[in-house]
Every structure is written in structure tokens, then in C-alpha cells.
Amino acid sequence: MIPASFIKEQAAAVGFDACGVAEAAMLSKEEFMLEEWLDAGFNAGMDYMQRNVAMRQDPRLLVEGARSVISVLLAYKPDRRIESARKIAQYAYGEDYHERLKRMLYQLITRVSEHYPEFEARPFVDTAPISDRHWAARAGLGWLGKNTLLVNPRFGSYCFIGELVTTAVVDVYDTPLPDGCGDCSRCVDACPNRAIVHRVGESYHVDARRCTSYNTIENRDSELPSQLDTRGYVFGCDICQLACPYNEQAPASMPLGNDRKAELESLPDADETTFRHAIKHSAMNRINYAQWRRNVDYSSEN
């Protein structure tokens, strides 16, 4: 058995902003309404969300013998924003979070293993069939806000999530935090596409078909849906996060240097070689140049 406090100390030493631990178990259907979301067609063209449904609900099917899920947060609110007409979502300003968190998670494994050689864990960030937000919520790192994002009381929703799924058992598991949204619905009201839908019970869902983030990143069609109101976003969308009071008061965690700011601001006019170079180690490498041109042209015409 490993003390949870030791793991949290090591996570802080690696540079994570928060860490919590939950017992590996199955997520309840009320907690994670993936099947309802899929049945409603809210996954749009993200066919990968239809695969490994059982695994997404139970990390023990992903990692044999899993006993605990260690969740970590890395806050990313930038110290300033790009205010030009064509906007890039803030999460993509810095280094690709998949690369950064994975590297940090491996450092965490090394540190814990140095003291506990029997410690075995697998790191995950975003792309594996595991629901990052639900495990972070179970680990007491925040609650699921109405925009469906994990909201941490200090860092708001401007935080990336990663986890270690491990066969190790810890001495104390964290307990989930109570809902902090209350009567607020600023994110729901702010969405220009009415993409945050209130459907079952108290739950909110994002209908990806209407969401700018989905359409500018995941949608590979040659044209964007004509009714999409992007408000100038050409990669991702921040609108339902900018509306959130927890994000307003969150401290800035990521400096945006002058060179990078200028590079991102000039990107809509860049040729393919310049574009590829600028996005190489950024979360923007999820899209190709054809999608980028499509997004930029759409924002100029609408």
C-alpha cells in the first residue's frame, strides 16, 4: 500500500497543479451517459467514441488488475489572449498538452517507483478510451460543470487532465467535491450555437454537431455547416469557458511570449510550410492545412 500523500507530493514536485486518487471501478450509467450521448448522435463524426464503450466506463478493462486511478491537473490559463479577429482557443497556445503531460506522468512513475519498486502504472492523456473528466471528478479535483468540463475551484476549467491507472492500492482515496455551479448557467447561455443541451435529469450534454470546437478540429468535411456561428474562432472555441466565473478569477498559469503571440496571430495568412512548422508541437497538430484553410475562409465569409 502506498500513501496517497506521497504520490501527491511527487506530483507537485513534477509540476502538476493538483492530484487526487480514486478507486478503480465502473462509472455508473447516471454518471457517464455515454450511450444516451451516442444514441442522440451528439458524437457527430467522432466514430472513435463508439468504440470501446465498456472500456470507457471501466478502467479495469483498459489495464488488467487496475486498483486505483491517479488523476492530475495542469492549469493553462494564459497571461494574455490573442485578440485578433481570427481566434485560436487558449488551450492550443502552448506546447501540445498530450506531449507535456505524458512526459510529466512518466516522471511521476519514475519518482514513485524509486521509493516503491512494486509500483506499476500506465499514463493516459485524452486519447485513450477512458473518461478523463469523470476520474478527475471522482478524485475530488473538481465537479462537472454545465459546459460538461471539469471545473476546479481554483483553476476553473482551464486545466488539462491526465491519469495513471495503476495496480497499486493507496491508503486514503479522495471524495468528490459538491457541485459548484448552483443556479449559474452562464456557459449554456453564452454558447452562440446552443450546443450545450439539457436533456436527461440534471445532466448537460454537448451536441458536437453544433459545437465550433468539434467543427473546427474534428470535422474533416470540405465545408463547415452553414449555420455555425464561430465568432471568429478558427481552431477550437473558448466561449463557454470565458463565460465561467471560476475561470475569470483563476490565476494565469501560462506565459504567452511575444514571439509565439506574433506567430499565432499571423498564422491565418501563413503558407503550408510555415503553418506546419508553427503547429508541430502544439495541440493544433490535430488538423491539417486543408482544414485550417477551410476554417479561416469560413471565418472571413461569416
Subset of 32-91 contacting ligand B12 (CB under 6 A): 32-34, 36-37, 46, 49, 89, 91
Minimum separation from the CB atom of position 23 to ligand SF4 (A): 26
Q: How many residues does the chain have?
A: 302
Question: How many chain residues bind ligand B12 (CB under 6 A)?
Answer: 39
- Establish if 204 lies at the interface with ligand B12 (CB under 6 A): yes
- Establish if 181 lies at the interface with ligand SF4 (CB under 6 A): yes
Residue with cell 511521476: 108
- Establish if 136 lies at the interface with ligand SF4 (CB under 6 A): no
Instruction: List b or e across 257-295, with b for residues whose CB sees 16 or more CB atoms inside 10 angstroms.
Output: eeebbebbbebbebeeeebeebbeebbbeebeeebbebb
Subset of 150-169 contacting ligand SF4 (CB under 6 A): 151
The H or E element spanning position 21 is strand 18-23
Beta bridge partners of 170: 2
Whose CB is nearest to ligand B12?
236
Contact 142, 136 (CB under 8 A): yes
Closest to ligand B12 by CB, 10 or 193: 193
Per CB under 6 A, the segment of 236-244, 246-254, 272-280, 289-297 that binds ligand B12 is 236-244
Please name which of 264, 259, 262 lies closest in space to residue 92, comparing C-alpha atoms. Answer: 264
62 Cβ contact partners less than 8 Å away, ≥ 6 residues apart: 55, 124, 128, 129, 130, 165
Minimum separation from the CB atom of position 72 to ligand B12 (A): 10
Q: Which of 17, 79, 126, 259 is catalytic?
A: 126
- Establish if 213 lies at the interface with ligand SF4 (CB under 6 A): yes
Among this protein's residues, is 126 annotated catalytic?
Answer: yes
Of 43, 68, 71, 147, the residue at the interface with ligand SF4 (CB under 6 A) is 147
SS3 at position 118: coil
